[in-house]
């Protein structure tokens, strides 16, 4: 039997991790990225236990621990005036797996560095796809084509390949804009270490957590949208306008925002769950399959889960990859549908969309149970069990 050839369109976190997992299972994986070089915008993300254990299984845990920053038991929730709110979960139920704050560029670098030279082909913007006899063919704006036994659309929320699976989905505006940026920890020497801190107020909230070895504090301030912005579009923001959005809040919020020299703002959208992810020899992964709001910190983590599940099931059924793709969709879609809905609900809690804030605060306990379910999940074990039925 010849080696299964997989073409992954999109060199983001999900696409790169999928290529690592595929190659570990002795499949031929090539990543096609539209940009001239792999890069990522200067912002942070969480690596949570459900994906951290997968990074460990491909030998990258040490790199993540070195480049990230531990987010541990000092984490806390507050009302906008600083009143504590119960809840600070950052572990799975075993209590041994941790959360790391990471700069996106650092995680991209770690994943790209784990792939052999030549695995990632930059400067390849995909503009077309067609089924062939036993596989799929991609077309790129540079005039080249690529044939593969399986094609994975990891090309983000504006996925070109999504339209070859289902009718393109419509963006759903959240009504919020996110201001993102970084502040050196050195300017705030009293700031708690190993902490994710989140303040919630009427119609807005702000979260702060460490990245890059705890040398930088990543902040994201969510405020009501004052204009219609294109989905995923970002632009420089005004630090003074950002500070004004949180004027009068708990003192640490103001102290941090005083040190913001640069911020960018982007509109928040998600999509309704897709009817399906797979058509023929093509399947979707990450934001191309399940774009979600950031309030559970799961966008990147779910794309890593996708990659592990996909690679595991293709390895279980290399002679019938279409069966593997349908099994991948089957085990992943129900979970990501629930997480998309859960992220919307968490956003409503954080933005205090309750007449009685005591009710909201009590609801945070329910949120923590949902996070426990998120963090405890082992997608590799689930995919291996599903794979037994394919053999």
pTM of the prediction?
Answer: 0.94
Q: Is 129 a catalytic residue?
A: no
Residue 122 belongs to some domain of the structure: yes
Q: What share of the chain is helix, strand, coil (3-state, %, to 5)?
A: 35, 25, 35
Number of domains in the chain: 1
Q: Among all chains, which residue has been given the structure tokens 């009590």?
A: 362
Residue 70 belongs to some domain of the structure: yes
Residue 342 belongs to some domain of the structure: yes
DSSP, collapsed to helix, strand or coil, labels residue 297 as coil
Per-residue pLDDT of the chain (391 residues; tens, 9 = 90+): 589 999 999 999 999 999 999 999 999 999 999 988 887 666 899 999 999 999 999 999 999 999 999 998 788 999 999 999 887 666 677 776 689 999 999 999 999 999 999 999 999 999 999 999 999 999 999 999 999 999 999 999 889 999 999 987 777 777 789 999 999 999 999 999 999 999 999 899 999 999 999 999 999 999 988 665 554 556 788 999 999 999 999 999 999 999 999 998 888 888 899 999 999 999 999 999 999 999 999 999 999 999 999 999 999 999 999 999 999 999 999 999 999 999 998 888 888 888 788 888 777 777 778 888 999 999 999 999 999 988 7
Residue 243 belongs to some domain of the structure: no
Q: Among all chains, which residue has been given the structure tokens 């139920």?
A: 93
Domain CATH for 52: 3.50.50.60
The one catalytic residue among 32, 77, 209, 375: 209
DSSP, collapsed to helix, strand or coil, labels residue 259 as coil
Residue 325 belongs to some domain of the structure: yes
Here the tokens at position 213 are 């070895």
Residue 230 belongs to some domain of the structure: no
Residue 234 belongs to some domain of the structure: no
The parent domain of residue 140 ranges over: 5-170+271-388
Residue 304 belongs to some domain of the structure: yes
| CA atoms within a 13 Å half-sphere pointing along the CA-CB vector of 344 | 15
CA separation for the pair 66, 194 (Å, rounded): 14
DSSP, collapsed to helix, strand or coil, labels residue 295 as helix
């Amino acid at each position: 039997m010849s080696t299964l050839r997989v073409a992954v369109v999109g060199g983001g976190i999900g696409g790169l991790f999928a290529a690592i997992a595929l190659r570990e299972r002795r499949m031929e994986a090539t990543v096609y990225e539209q940009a001239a070089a792999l890069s990522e915008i200067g912002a942070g993300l969480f690596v949570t236990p459900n994906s951290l254990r997968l990074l460990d299984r491909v030998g990258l845990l040490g790199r993540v621990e070195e480049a990230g920053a531990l987010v541990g038991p000092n984490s806390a929730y507050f009302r906008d005036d600083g009143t504590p709110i119960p809840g600070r979960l950052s572990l799975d139920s075993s209590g041994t797996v941790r959360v790391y704050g990471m700069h996106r560029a650092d995680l991209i670098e770690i994943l790209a560095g784990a792939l052999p030279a030549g695995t990632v082909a930059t400067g390849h913007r995909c503009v077309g796809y067609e089924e062939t006899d036993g596989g799929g063919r991609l077309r790129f704006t540079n005039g080249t084509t690529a044939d593969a036994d399986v094609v994975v659309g990891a090309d983000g929320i504006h996925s070109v390949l999504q339209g070859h699976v289902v009718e393109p989905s419509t963006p759903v505006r959240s009504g919020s804009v996110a201001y993102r940026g970084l502040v050196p920890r050195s300017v705030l020497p009293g700031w708690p270490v190993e902490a994710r801190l989140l303040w919630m107020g009427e119609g807005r909230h702000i979260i702060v957590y460490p990245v890059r070895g705890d040398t930088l504090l990543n902040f994201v301030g969510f405020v009501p949208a004052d204009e219609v912005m294109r989905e995923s579009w970002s632009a420089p923001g005004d630090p003074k306008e950002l500070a004004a959005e949180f004027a009068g809040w708990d003192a640490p919020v103001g102290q941090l925002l005083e040190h913001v020299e640069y911020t960018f703002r982007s509109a928040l959208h998600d999509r309704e769950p897709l009817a399906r992810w797979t058509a023929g020899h093509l399947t979707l992964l990450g934001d191309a399959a399940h774009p979600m709001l950031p309030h559970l910190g799961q966008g990147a983590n779910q794309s890593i889960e996708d990659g592990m599940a996909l690679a595991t099931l293709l390895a279980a059924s290399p002679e019938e990859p279409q069966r593997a793709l349908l099994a991948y969709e089957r085990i992943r879609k129900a979970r990501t549908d629930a997480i998309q809905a859960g992220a919307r609900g968490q956003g409503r809690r954080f933005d205090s969309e309750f007449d009685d804030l005591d009710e909201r605060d009590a609801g945070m306990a329910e949120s923590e149970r949902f996070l426990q379910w998120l963090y405890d999940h082992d997608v590799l074990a689930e995919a291996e069990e599903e794979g037994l039925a394919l053999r």
